[in-house]
Each structure stands twice: as structure tokens, then as C-alpha cells.
Amino acid sequence: MKVLLVYAHPEPRSLNGALRDFAVSRLRGNGHEVEVSDLYAMGWKAVLDAGDSLAPRASARFDPSEDARRAYETGMQRADIAREQEKLLWADALILQFPLWWFSMPAIMKGWVERVYACGFAYGVGEHSDTHWGDRYGEGTLAGKRAMLVVTAGGWESHYAPRGINGPIGDLLFPIQHGTLFYPGFQVLPPFAVYRAGRMDGARFARVRAELGQRLDSMWTTAPIPFRRQNGGAYEIPSLALRADLAPGRSGLGIHVGEQAAAS
Amino acid sequence: MKVLLVYAHPEPRSLNGALRDFAVSRLRGNGHEVEVSDLYAMGWKAVLDAGDSLAPRASARFDPSEDARRAYETGMQRADIAREQEKLLWADALILQFPLWWFSMPAIMKGWVERVYACGFAYGVGEHSDTHWGDRYGEGTLAGKRAMLVVTAGGWESHYAPRGINGPIGDLLFPIQHGTLFYPGFQVLPPFAVYRAGRMDGARFARVRAELGQRLDSMWTTAPIPFRRQNGGAYEIPSLALRADLAPGRSGLGIHVGEQAAAS
């Protein structure tokens, strides 16, 4: 299989750097092909702007969606964007690895999403009708591929637990896992999270590495988070409210996760 | 009062640009002083790296927290960072205005948070003891100030409703409102959100502007979101789990919001 690892940490001699090297080596050892987009090392342009099109419309207002769509459809995207899109199309699985900074991904990786996820590529695709609201949330350009987050956090695991003060890790990652990965079609595996990342001794690092190794070994068989498909009948169209008989009386992020399919 | 408006949109001739101009003019008309940090216009450096210290330790591993703390404590931060920290200390209220891109703030604003929120300034402050886990979540450098998000989104309001497919807007914004604003001490006002931002006619724009005007007029009297203070007794220390008798049996982001104080 083919794996794209998109990685964001400024220091190669960090826990993240060590985990990345381990992941690449484990995946290759398992016979997979691996491409790494090391955003800091690439000097990735983090900021979406009119310069992302090679043919900016000089006199017109810059429209982040429409200008990206035009550049995408006419082959006039900056080469760095087109190259990452090609990697996404090539890959069978995507891993996003990053330290949790302010409960989200680092700016440089957010900018990777914003620029690579062009309109016409990752959103704004598919028809709208009475039963179908575009190809998204389980359908789209990247359907059929798998994705997983590898995240380090300074806080304790209990701080990210269901009643922990930071909020449950799955809820904090919802804008990424549901809104960014499931949205263009990825099947999203449970995240691999490392807590107290600043206090890592050799014994714990060995444990973390072993656990990550198991997660990488089982990437093709692990059951994805069963986010509900938008166009599968669970949502009213066009309000996109969850049908009243599903998770009745409940609200919040958890209602968008349905029943787990039978274990594989 | 003094208001800092941090603003991120690449096109001044946009809905966001118009709302920003309106907000500045309304606040000034009400007699407030306003500073604007227009991140795109400033060419804000979005990416946190070793260059954020004027005295990087050439041979050492770069540590995002510790190097930022050292630069902060020794006055060796890059001038752009120090200037934004001064603006935060000057302000009585902070407004973050941005288009919701992939259910979060644009990369350039995320990079503003990461770089300006230095260790020793916005986190890593206060003592740790059996009853106090640092000055954060309701305490900290920015305590006593108010903050509010002004957000535009392309989707419909129903898509962001309690049972909408994108997730409730308050849950999507939790990493920002709770994890980024309440964390260093801000009192966070309910967000001002504009939906279907790409489909705005003159009549609706007039309504949106009037509603925003009312929110700006009442910034000093609107009741903040009653996030629970970390060190106020609601959380066990050091697990930082919510006490079992509060929101008993529940979990998720909503449990960190307590009872609304009496309306002011």
C-alpha cells in the first residue's frame, strides 16, 4: 500500500521527529511505499493568498474559493499545491502527525489543508439535489482512502478524558477528523495520541513506539470511526439536521458517530 | 475602553472587510479606542520557528515552549511578537474576526496565536499545588479582559445547529473559545456568526450589520459564556476531571459550561 505522512514539527531531534522516523521505517519494513511531506523542512507556504494561482486576476477581488477552483480547473495552481494533491491521489492512506498546539494542528499544517484542499478538489464537488448535498462527508475525491492522526500533547491523558478540563480528545479533534478528513471522503481511524510528551523517558518511549507500531501494522484492518454519511439517509436535506429518530433527543458532536460496523 | 481587533482575511473588498470596517467605525463612534492587527496586510509571519528568538541557541535542539519562554523572559523575542503582546496587555477587549476555514481559524491567525501566546506570557504561568494547577482557564495574564469571535461561514445556520452535520458552532469553536481565550484568562462572550456568507444581498447585509452593531454596543454588559474556572473547586487536581457531582453522568464539551450568572 502507499502511505502519505504529512508531518509538522520544527525540530527533527524531537519526540515527533523520532516517532516520524519510526513510523516511516515500520511502514517500509511492512512493505509499504511511504512519501513524507515534512512541512517545516519543505519551507511550506502556510498562508493561502492570491499568489496560489499562477494567473491571478489582477483587477478582481480575490475570492479564496473561486480563485482556487479556477486555478485548479485550468492547471494554474502553484506547483507546491498540485504536488501535494498528486500525493493525496497516489496514497491509499494519509497520516497527519503533529504536536497539539492550542488544541489544534500547527499553523503550517492548517495552511497545508487550506491550500491543498482546493475548491473542486476537496470540496465543492458533486451535485446538489433533494437527496444529495454534494459529494462530502463520506463521499468525495478521497473516498476509499484511510486517514489517521498521530498527535502529541503536553497535558495528561486525564485532562483529555471524557470529563477532563481540556475537553475529550475526540471532540477537540472533531474539526479535523470529521470536518477535514471525513469531509472529502477519508475513512478515519481512531487517533494515536501521546500525552505528557514533554516528560518522556526511555521506557515509556519504547512503549509508545510499540503501540504506534501496532497501530501502523493494523492500519488496513482497524475499524474506522463510524461517522455517519451525509447522503446515506441519516440527514434531512437541505437542513442537514440528523433525522429525529437517530440519537433521539441528543445533540453535540457525538451524534454524528453511528453504530460501529461488525469488527473486521 | 480599548479594543484590539485581530483580523484575518486576504481580500479587503470582502464581506469580512466590510464587517471589519463597520466594527471599527462603530466602536470608535461609541468612544472606544481601537487597534487593528490586520494579519494579511501586515504580512504576519504565520510559522512558529527558531527565528522567533533574536538569540537562538545555535547548537541546541529547538524547543517551541522553552525557547519562547527564554526569549520572552530575556526580552529577545522578535519585535512583531512583542508588539502584539503589548497590544493584548493594552486592550480591555479582544475581537478575533475570521472566515471559518475547515471549521477553524485561518492558518495565519493560528500562527498569531502560536507565536504571540509565548510560554511565560499566555501559558506556563502560576504555581502548581494541591489546589491550584497554574494560572489558566479563567486566571492568567489576560484575566479581567473580554473576548469575542466574529466569524463568517459559507454553510447554512442549520448545518451548525445542535443536530446539524457540521457540529454545533459552539462545539467547533470550543478549542478557540475555551482552549485559547478562556485559557489565559479572557471572559468569552457568545460568538457573532454570519452564515451563508457567500450569498449576501444588501438587505441581509444591513440586518447583519445592525446585529453586529448591537453586539458591539453591549460588549461590556453581555454575560460571558460561563466556562468553569479550573481552580475554583469544580475540578479534581491533578486529574483535572470535573467533580463527579457536577453535570453528573455527563461528558463532552458542554459540561465545562456552568450555570449562567444572573443576567447583568
Question: Is there a contact between A114 and B101 if contact means CB atoms under 8 Å apart?
Answer: yes
Q: In this structure, is residue B229 part of a structural domain?
A: no
Q: In this structure, is residue B160 part of a structural domain?
A: yes
Give just the sign of the alpha carbon dihedral B21, B22, B23, B25. positive
Q: For B7-60, how does the pLDDT look when each residue is reduced to its tens digit (9 = 90+)?
A: 999 999 999 999 999 999 999 999 999 999 999 999 999 999 999 999 888 778
Looking at the partner chain, which of B11, B161, B175 has a beta carbon nearest the beta carbon of A103? B175
Q: In this structure, is residue B231 part of a structural domain?
A: no
Q: Which of A59, A102, A199, A255 to mutate to test the interface with B (most CBs of B within 10 A)?
A: A102
Q: In this structure, is residue B95 part of a structural domain?
A: yes
Question: Is there a contact between B198 and A65 if contact means CB atoms under 8 Å apart?
Answer: yes
Q: What is the pLDDT of residue A260?
A: 67
Chain A nearest-CA distance from B215, in A, is: 25
Q: Which of B9, B105, B163 to mutate to test the interface with A (most CBs of A within 10 A)?
A: B163
Q: What is the pLDDT of residue A60?
A: 86
Q: What is the pLDDT of residue A23?
A: 98
Q: Got the DSSP string for A94-140?
A: EEEEEE-BTTB--HHHHHHHHHHS-BTTTBS-S-B-SS-BSS-SS-S
Contacts of B165 in chain A (CB under 8 A): 137, 230, 235, 240-242, 256
Residue B205's identity, in one-letter code, is: F
Residue-range definition of the domain harbouring residue B14: 2-224
Instruction: From B190, B193, B212, select the one nearest B155 (Cα to Cα).
Output: B193
Contacts of B65 in chain A (CB under 8 A): 154, 198
Q: Which residue has the higher pLDDT, A1 or A262?
A: A1
Structural domains in chain A (count): 1
Q: What is the pLDDT of residue A58?
A: 78
The domain that holds B101 is classified in CATH as: 3.40.50.360
Q: In this structure, is residue A236 part of a structural domain?
A: no
Q: In this structure, is residue B246 part of a structural domain?
A: no
Write b or e for each residue in A44-67: b if 16 or more Cβ atoms lie within 10 A of its Cβ, otherwise e. Answer: bbbbbbbebbeebeeeeebbbbbb
Contacts of A13 in chain B (CB under 8 A): 61
- Predicted ipTM > 0.85: yes
Average pLDDT score over chain B: 96
Angle of helix B79-90 relative to helix B107-116, nearest 10 degrees? 80
Looking at the partner chain, which of A47, A114, A242 has a beta carbon nearest the beta carbon of B102? A114
Residue B230 pLDDT more than 60?
Answer: yes
Question: Is there a contact between A102 and B108 if contact means CB atoms under 8 Å apart?
Answer: no
Mean pLDDT of B124-138: 94
Looking at the partner chain, which of B49, B61, B106 has a beta carbon nearest the beta carbon of A14? B61
Q: What is the pLDDT of residue A261?
A: 55
Q: Provide the pLDDT confidence category of residue B245 given band limits of 50, 70 and 90.
A: very high
Q: In this structure, is residue B237 part of a structural domain?
A: no
What percentage of chain B carries pLDDT values higher than 90?
93
CA closest to B229 among chain A residues? A165
Q: For A81-121, how does the pLDDT look when each residue is reduced to its tens digit (9 = 90+)?
A: 999 999 999 999 999 999 999 999 999 999 999 999 999 99
Q: Provide the pLDDT confidence category of residue A263 given band limits of 50, 70 and 90.
A: very low
Which residues fall within 8 angstroms of residue A79, CB to CB, at 6 or more apart? none
Q: What is the pLDDT of residue B263?
A: 45
